[in-house]
Amino acid sequence: MIEKLVIIGVGLIGGSLSLALKQAGVVNNVVGCDRSPQNLQKGVDLGVIDSFELSISEAVKTADVVVVAVPLGAMHMVFQQICESITDHTIVTDVGSSKRSVVEVARQTMGDRFPQFVPGHPIAGAEKSGVEAGFASLFQNRSVILTPVKETDNKLIERVDSMWRHCGAIIEYLDVDHHDRVLGATSHLPHMLAYAMVNYLSGLNDHDEIFRYAAGGFRDFTRIASSDPVMWRDVCLSNGNTLLKLIEGYQDELDMISKAIQHNDADQLLQLFGKAKSERDSLIGNC
């Protein structure tokens, strides 16, 4: 049982976590905290949180668990304020999609309390944001990756693991840098491609017709370009080195397709597309 849970950043992820834990009956009091009193009041009205504070240092007093669910660029400021008021028994965890940068911020700001930080990343989300976007089943059968470091208290890892399991999540463990490489390829790069695709096509003279006649494949591919721009700006800056290498490799792949088209090389195109289809079908399935 979590007596007092504090969620800093009450949006889709933080709100869904609160609703899931309430539904599971494992939390007594959920306190929300972020910069918008209107958003927080809406959270109370919707039953997502029980109360709210605008001051981080006030919100985290006597907290059992603090979940930081803010954009990566705000992590340093938030962790500084958390450390002013937490006790030796407070667990701090996060939901950031880039882990190395968050771990370094926690290491710099938490001092002797750094072992109380359990870095995490739920692999779940949607394009909608705000407290009203939250729903209790968001994490059902979805992966949550925990990336503890050598200093992290094992007992606190178990408690964060248990918290996410009560939400219906599947818990996995990765090294911090391995996490950033894998998520850079499977999440961060696709978002960059979607943003670039929409920006490129919107700049064409006949972009109105392009978007009007867009088929399902285009909508599916570019759906993630509706995600929060602030969040993804921060992801780019936090996991930049990994992303740059991935973008360079992707450009090489596009160059191969371009050369095959230039040379009217049907065999090369068939080989490239056939390999991609085979890999996707074997790893993800034909869906």
Torsion of CA 9, 11, 17, 22, to 10 degrees: 100
Tokens standing for residue 220: 């599916």
Question: What pLDDT sits at residue 244?
Answer: 97
pTM of the model: 0.89
Question: What pLDDT sits at residue 216?
Answer: 77
Residue 209 CA: distances (Å) to CA of 109, 115, 256: 51, 55, 29
Which own/partner contact pairs does 244-253 have at CB distance under 8 Å and 24+ positions apart? Answer: 246/184, 246/185, 246/188, 246/189, 247/189, 247/192, 250/189, 250/193
Question: What pLDDT sits at residue 214?
Answer: 73
Within this chain, do residues 130 and 182 fall inside the same structural domain, yes or no? no
Q: How far apart are CA 48 and CA 9, in angstroms?
A: 12
Judge whether 101 and 72 are in contact, CB under 8 Å: yes
Within this chain, do residues 102 and 169 fall inside the same structural domain, yes or no? yes
Within this chain, do residues 170 and 188 fall inside the same structural domain, yes or no? no
> Domain tally for the chain?
2
The CATH number assigned to the domain holding 220 equals 1.10.3660.10
Within this chain, do residues 259 and 234 fall inside the same structural domain, yes or no? yes
Within this chain, do residues 166 and 240 fall inside the same structural domain, yes or no? no
Within this chain, do residues 11 and 137 fall inside the same structural domain, yes or no? yes
Whole-angstrom Cα Rg for the chain: 21
Within this chain, do residues 40 and 132 fall inside the same structural domain, yes or no? yes
Q: Residue 215 sits in which domain range?
A: 178-283
Within this chain, do residues 227 and 154 fall inside the same structural domain, yes or no? no
Residue ending a domain, choose from 174, 191, 208: 174
Within this chain, do residues 11 and 134 fall inside the same structural domain, yes or no? yes
The CATH number assigned to the domain holding 96 equals 3.40.50.720
Phi and psi (nearest 5°) for 263?
-90, 10
Within this chain, do residues 31 and 160 fall inside the same structural domain, yes or no? yes
Q: How far apart are CA 51 and CA 58, in angstroms?
A: 12
Within this chain, do residues 204 and 266 fall inside the same structural domain, yes or no? yes
Residue ending a domain, choose from 150, 174, 198: 174
Residue whose C-alpha is closest to residue 87's, from 154, 17, 6: 6
Question: What pLDDT sits at residue 45?
Answer: 96
Within this chain, do residues 194 and 147 fall inside the same structural domain, yes or no? no
Q: How far apart are the first and last CA of the chain?
A: 39
Question: What pLDDT sits at residue 63?
Answer: 97
Q: How far apart are CA 136 and CA 115, in angstroms?
A: 29
Residue whose C-alpha is closest to residue 220's, from 190, 184, 243, 247: 190
Q: How far apart are CA 3 and CA 63, in angstroms?
A: 8
Question: What pLDDT sits at residue 182?
Answer: 96
Residue ending a domain, choose from 174, 195, 213: 174
Quickly tell me which residue has 């985290």 as its tokens.
60
Burial 248-273 (b: 16+ CB within 10 A, else e): eeeeeeeeeeeebeeeeeeeeeeeee
Question: What pLDDT sits at residue 196?
Answer: 95
Amino acid identity of 254?
Answer: L
Q: What is the pLDDT along the chain (287 residues), one digit of tens a residue?
A: 999 999 999 999 999 999 999 999 999 999 999 999 999 999 999 999 999 999 999 999 999 999 999 999 999 999 999 998 999 999 999 999 999 999 999 999 999 999 999 999 999 876 667 888 889 999 999 999 999 999 999 999 999 999 999 999 999 999 999 999 999 999 999 999 999 999 998 888 877 787 877 777 888 888 889 888 998 999 999 999 999 999 999 999 999 999 999 999 999 999 999 999 999 898 876 65
Question: What pLDDT sits at residue 126?
Answer: 67
